[in-house]
Amino acid sequence: MQQVKKGDKIKIHYHGKLTSGETFDSSAGREPLEFEVGGGMVIKGFDEGVTGMSVGENKTIQIPFNEAYGPVNPEMIIDMPKGRFPEDLNLELGMPIMMSDRQGHQFQVTITEIKESSVMLDANHPLAGKDLIFDLELVEIAGGTPLIIVP
């Protein structure tokens, strides 16, 4: 029976949970996730977790945060003066806001605290510092990218 290996394009259903049991993402009700194993399209622990699976196989994998979205980086927590926000913006805890850096790259931050004169923003990935659990079901192995060998 064919098993998933690096370079294979696969389709997989998944249910992602935190260690608390809270669901953060799922392919239920959608098409399965399709990606090339080892192609850098998913987190390292997910790539490693699907390797060796066979079509129809169900598996649960646990991914430590360092193989997922990494640790929380304190340098990505920003104390922003309230005067830098539009006056008509109703600031709320947990609210996502799009910002851009000096080079014009956009990124999302989340409001984590609202103080009297400033707002604490977290630019870390929402799953940074969290261990993840995925229930997987391999739907298809479509084969790898063909190699072109020129004589």
Minimal CA–CA distance to 85: which of 122, 120, 136? 120
Give the pLDDT band (50/70/90) at residue 1.
confident
pLDDT at 97 over 70: yes
**17-56: per-residue pLDDT in tens?**
999 999 999 999 999 999 999 999 999 999 999 999 999 9
pLDDT over 60 at 89, yes or no: yes
Instruction: In whole angstroms, give the CA distance from residue 54 to residue 40.
Output: 21
Domains of the chain in sequence order: 8-69+127-144 (3.10.50.40), 74-122 (2.40.10.330)
Condensed to tens digits (0 to 9), the pLDDT of residues 102-149 reads: 888 888 999 999 999 999 999 999 999 999 999 999 999 986 555 555
